[in-house]
Chains A and B, each alone.
Chain A
Amino acid sequence: MKDLLKHIDRRRFLNVSAAGIAGALAAGSARPLWGQAKERPKPTADTLIVLWMAGGMAQTETFDPKRYTPFEPGLESRRVLSTFRPMDTVVDNIKVSEGFTRLAKVMDRGTLVRGYQAGDLGFILHSRHQYHWHTGYAPPQSVAAPHIGSVIARTLGPKNPDVPAFIDIGQNMEIGAESDALKAFHTAGFLGTEYGPFMIADPADAMASVRPPAHMTSSRFQNREKLYKKMLEANPVLRQGADFQQESFVRAMDNAHRLLNAPAARAFDLSLEPKESYARYNTGRFGLGCLLARRLTEAGARFIEVTTEYIPFRFWDTHENGHDRMAALKPMIDGPVAQLVLDLEERGLLNRTLIVLATEFGRDMMTEGKPGLEVKNQVDVPDTMAATKHYGMHRHFTEAGVVLLFGGGMKRGFLYGETADERPCKVVRGAMGIEDLHATIYRAMGIPADLAYEVEQRPFYVTRDGKGKPRMDLFA
């Protein structure tokens, strides 16, 4: 595409793509530039759920188990590849790390990718890698890059107009030093605030986001809207002439009120879920987030992200005590994710809902970065382990990571990619970077990898430079 563009002078470029320029200005947001393909890919999914394991989930402790070495004082760090035993799943050639009894039983509904490789950004900073994962671009960028949820919201629009097209569950935005970096990618960027995330920090509180303000009764809230409409009617200034600006504003208010009154709003109310079902999901905020995601999918959501939440050094961000912390984290996700898959399947929605469980990079005990492209160590790993706090995967490993994909047109019970069984545990087959992962996800949603949006008279591609190639092997 780049070489082609070199030969198109400005006039022709603008004439050739004339159609949308003024349209973009008229509409106030960047216009799409559909790429080379004559036809858009047929979607295999209508809804995307990203289950975000923030903090760098150790792949050899979860879905790419290696040889188990039990702890003993004096154990050499470099001998440890996994601190858990592997266990069988319902898929013959797939083993996962012990502790995933429920997920093991639903492996036949999905594809397991073992060769995901995070970007080489020269230094491990979680929020920078998270930005890279969610936008496909490494910051700093000269334009505000949009989150994958925003790209989908912009390109496809909401599924049910009463449900915001991009919903983000589980992340508190004020987390100390990396707050601003976090905010930098939780945005629709240049696509326009219309497509930004609807944030729900605590799923148990989700109902509050679609209810009248806490101190206001429902009837007062309805009366307030009536008063508003009557005031507009009585207003002598507003009645002077047709005015699409004013109409747009009132319509935005109407849309908000409509959501609050719509049947879809009940999806946000977890208290309406039957008790036994609620209990199956209730391992904490993440678990309830998965329940909320299911309910929203049933109500017609388009893109939902549920995160285990990024807080520096918490959850998957194991700089020490890796084994013990992983032992506590696995039950947090095992039941809810498996239940989400089963519930969607039971409701006939799994085939058209793509679930992607992913993380910004994996972990290793020895390498920080990639073998051959190491970066500054941020964790002190002793040569031999003296205490259990040393026992686990503590360094940030961008060479390999896992992605689990369920439903949405993906192969069932399929293994893609492989890492070596011995250090440095490089990817030996099926290496995939974010460009191709996004291309694959977008393809499933019916979006070509070289779709671009125009910003400042240049195309900004949904995968970096339009280079993403979907891995068709993953599709059923």
Chain B
Amino acid sequence: MMDISFRPLLAGLCALPALLAQDSLGDRAHAVLAARCLGCHGSQAQGGLDLRTQAGALRAVQPGNSAASLLMARISGAKPPRMPMGGAPLTASETELLRQWIDQGAPYPAARAAEPKWTPPLAPRQVTPPAGGAHPIDAFLPVNKPLVSDGVFARRVWLDLWGLLPTPAELKRFEDDRTEGKRDKLVARLLSHKENYAGHWMSFWNDLLRNDEGVIYHGERKSITPWLRKALEDNLPYDEFARRLISPESPSDPDGFLTGVTWRGVVSASELPPMQAAQNSAQIFLGVNLKCNSCHDSFISKWQLADAYGLASFFAPEPLEMVRCDVKTGRVQQARFLFPELGSVPEGLDLKGRRAVAADLFTKPANGRFARTYVNRIWARLLGRGLVANVDDLSAEPWNADLLDWLAMDFAGQGYDTHKLLARIMNSRAYQLPSVTEVSAGPRYRFEGPERRRLSAEQLADAVASLTGEWRPVENRATREVAYAREWRFKSSPLTRALGRPIRDQVTTVRQSQPTMLQGLELVNGATLARMLRRGAQRLMGTLPPAPKALFDSGPVRGVKMRPRCEIDLTGASKLWLLLEDYDTYDPARARAGWMAAEFVTAAGAAVPAAEAFPATRLNALPLGTELVLDLAGKGFTRFVATAAVEEASAASDVNASVRLFAFTQEPDREQLVQAAGPTPVVRPHLSLATPQLAVIHLYRHALSRDPSAAEMMLARQTIGARLTPEILEDMLWALVMSPEFQYIR
């Protein structure tokens, strides 16, 4: 299975991260062959096929002609037996990779000489950028290609800084602008908008810091959302940001980070909160993986059990006894930093004191790894590939150490200001080059432009919302304030989970962005996206009925003690809508609630019990989700009076009814039972319906930041036909959103 004689092909690739640096098409294809085929078709040469050399592969590979290559027919199953025999079939990506590799001549690389081992520096390193190039980054990465157009640039920076699409109006303004340095100015303007900036970067940090919305765990777990949001809006300097997380002191500091993710019961010693704190802070801030050596000395790196415990002891009430593979060793490890040369720890400090020392050791200028790790993450975020490819392992050799060290020092020198770092990178030519999906062959990675990146789950949801103006309101359960919200504010949905929004039990630094069939199913017929697009199309066309305000909103009603009184004016109303909604009941199927002691009051002041006024309709002890529509015509009622109540039995702990009741005198919009106060995150678009052309141009410019081509316009005109309807618009929107051009940042 593991073919050691394949070593010549991979000679010199003695470290995983170095391997990441070599990934021409040929290298990647060979990696797939190595992983999935060589077990039988390497030294064993089963069926006479040896895929380690081109000569040996000719039996199944016709260089230049994938369609005629037996290999492709076998892996697709077109020609049985399907390969790999007895194993899972190749994924779509792997298949495509091999197809293109064969079509490009099925190249095999020459053997490579062994490379000297890389030692990662700790201290910052002063580097002078090479001569030439107006921007220092470009001096390191000279690439002679024209930059992307204004439209591509605008879409890129809007998505990278705000996670939103540029509106057609903004796009036009930008394109028409002839002033010098307009791109730099756009970046600066986008950075200055606190809410939109934070609305995007919250997800990045939620992934890293294991923070989530609406999560309720047994045991302790604490959200850091208020602090994090403010830190992003205020552009808190990164070193201060890290210090607050590592050593929270004031009540508003984010102590949820050190609390970690706990479960009631016995927890492995390697996952106690101080150990989690050590693993997470080492990974996030220093690109060090302490997970292996939280149980035993690492088999694959220099880190030892004592290192993990040494760091964990900064975060434990008392220094910790080391436990190796769940067996106590009897040795207590005092607090000791991963890089002791940065400073020793005074003895006898309490927890607060030790945390403060940790915060200092992580962030002090002499700790060059701190800045390097962060600039590398941001670089990877914007350019699609880190200067050190594995952003969680900064011990590996960067593909451009000078650039990394220069950028890190530049960042530290300007005060760890993230906005300035972002602008630094985005103002370079390197960032503005056309994106690439393939890298040319060669022994080392060569930068030719940013890599094409996929929209994240949140970016997709927000992009659809900004395209259609259909934003969803979210209610702050504590303050009951309702506002239109970006996707990060909501709990994960099947759609966002399928698109890669992680369960935040673990630190996530890179999201999975591969297309999958489950994603396909959500995008093709999932209810979440379907609803967004249907309503969105109606909103754009102006056919969405207005959402009336409820005359009565009980708010959350739990148990039998909460019995809010409802008293509403029915004058002039022809109908009364009474809604009973679930609000997180344990067992919604068994919960019963409703309108107790309900009465209708006439103009004369007489109170008619509901059972008399509407004998066919029961108003109380209703199942959740009931919507009653009462016809008031000719009855002469002026008021409705009732008590919103949960039935006694439903308050029992195994039902735990939690409900909300609404009363309307106009048809309610079930998606907007509570009204949001305040603006939508972006101004709602106005779709010009004057002519089909204008509508199509607007859609393309909004979705893709470019005009439709002649062929696209013709197709759109044909599709619209005589008149644009909400259904046609919905389907066109869907097709646009499903375009790979939309789904990726070009």
Binding site for B on A (CB under 8 A): 2, 5-6, 8, 10-11, 13-29, 31, 34, 40, 120-125, 127-128, 138-144, 154-157, 161, 164, 174-181, 183-184, 187, 192-194, 196, 198-199, 209-216, 220-221, 223-224, 227-228, 230-232, 234-238, 242-257, 259-260, 311-314, 319, 375, 446, 456-458
Contacts and interface: CB of A to CB of B under 8 A. Distances in A.
A224 B294 contact: no
B220 to A, nearest CB: 12
B503 A183 contact: yes
A396 to B, nearest CB: 12
Contacts of A375: 265
Closest 3 CB pairs of A and B: A23-B35, A122-B266, A256-B520
Contacts of B454: 245
A21 to B, nearest CB: 6
A14 B299 CA distance: 11
Interface in B3-51: 3-4, 6-7, 10, 13-16, 19-20, 22-23, 27-32, 34-36, 38-39
Contacts of B714: 234
A115 B382 CA distance: 55
Contacts of A247: 92, 96
A18 to B, nearest CB: 5
B521 A198 contact: yes
B97 A26 contact: yes
Contact of A213 (B103, B498, B530): B530
B630 to A, nearest CB: 27
Given A164-B517, A193-B498, A180 B3 contact: no
A27 B32 contact: yes
Nearest to B38: A19
A343 B96 CA distance: 41
B603 interface: no
B617 interface: no
Contacts of B502: 144
A235 B739 contact: yes
B277 to A, nearest CB: 12
Contacts of B735: 224, 227-228, 231
Given A139-B263, A231-B739, 9 more contacts: A14-B300, A22-B35, A27-B32, A28-B93, A140-B262, A216-B530, A260-B525, A311-B586, A313-B586
30 contacts: A10-B300, A14-B300, A18-B13, A18-B34, A20-B31, A22-B28, A25-B19, A40-B86, A127-B218, A139-B505, A140-B267, A155-B87, A164-B517, A177-B218, A180-B217, A181-B217, A181-B218, A224-B731, A228-B734, A234-B712, A235-B739, A242-B100, A242-B103, A244-B97, A253-B738, A260-B524, A314-B654, A456-B289, A456-B292, A457-B16
Contacts of A232: 739-740
Contacts of B267: 122, 140
Contact of B506 (A40, A138, A142, A161): A142
Interface string B460-497: 00000000000000000000000000000000101001
Nearest to B264: A123
B441 to A, nearest CB: 15
Contact of A16 (B2, B31, B654): B2
A8 to B, nearest CB: 7
B299 A8 contact: yes
Contacts of A193: 497-498, 500, 512, 514, 516, 518-519
Contact of B653 (A123, A128, A237, A313): A313
A164 B518 CA distance: 8
A248 B519 CA distance: 12
Given A13-B299, A244-B93, A313-B586, A23 B514 contact: no
Contact of A194 (B91, B262, B266, B505): B91
B216 A248 contact: no
A161 B1 CA distance: 26
A311 B386 CA distance: 44
B613 to A, nearest CB: 35
Contacts of A122: 264-267
Contact of B505 (A144, A164, A221): A144
Which of B2, B19, B325 has the most chain A CB atoms inside 10 A of its CB?
B2
Which of B14, B93, B276 has the most chain A CB atoms inside 10 A of its CB?
B93
A145 B519 CA distance: 20
B299 A5 contact: yes
A22 B23 contact: yes
Contacts of B103: 242
Interface residues of B, number: 123
Interface string B578-613: 000000111100000000000000000000000000
B665 interface: no
Interface of B: 1-4, 6-7, 10, 13-16, 19-20, 22-23, 27-32, 34-36, 38-39, 86-89, 91-94, 96-97, 99-100, 103, 212, 215-218, 260-268, 270-271, 276, 279, 289, 291-292, 294, 296, 299-301, 325, 392, 437, 452, 454, 492, 494, 497-498, 500, 502-503, 505-506, 512-521, 523-525, 527, 530, 534, 584-587, 653-654, 656, 704, 706, 709, 711-712, 714-715, 719, 727, 731-732, 734-736, 738-741, 743-744, 746
Contact of A24 (B35, B392, B516, B525): B35
A313 B100 contact: no
Which of A24, A139, A140, A243 has the most chain B CB atoms inside 10 A of its CB?
A140
Which of A184, A244, A456 has the most chain B CB atoms inside 10 A of its CB?
A244
B35 A234 contact: no
Contacts of B88: 154-157
B503 A184 contact: yes
B515 A259 contact: no
Contacts of B34: 18-20, 22-23
Contact of B271 (A141, A161, A199, A245): A141
Nearest to B526: A213
Given A228-B735, A242-B100, A255 B517 contact: yes
Contact of B15 (A14, A156, A214, A312): A14
B709 A234 contact: yes
Given A183-B503, A213-B530, A249-B743, A22 B91 contact: no
Nearest to B500: A193
B719 to A, nearest CB: 6
Contacts of B587: 311, 313-314
Contacts of A251: 92, 96, 515
A111 B712 CA distance: 62
B223 to A, nearest CB: 12
A213 B702 CA distance: 25
B19 A187 contact: no
Contacts of A319: 654
A199 B528 CA distance: 14
A326 B732 CA distance: 53
B308 to A, nearest CB: 11
Contacts of B498: 193, 196
Which of B3, B20, B34, B517 has the most chain A CB atoms inside 10 A of its CB?
B517
A439 B266 CA distance: 24
Contacts of A11: 14
Given A18-B2, A139-B505, A125 B518 contact: no
Nearest to B504: A180
A42 to B, nearest CB: 10
Given A235-B712, A312-B586, A314-B587, A248 B515 contact: yes
Contact of B23 (A25, A231, A238): A25
Contacts of A29: 91, 512, 514
B300 A13 contact: yes
A157 B505 contact: no
Contacts of A312: 586, 654
A231 B265 contact: no
A436 B261 CA distance: 28
Contacts of A25: 19-20, 23, 28, 31
Contact of A22 (B31, B492, B711, B719): B31
A19 B732 contact: no
Given A22-B27, A230-B715, A194 B731 contact: no
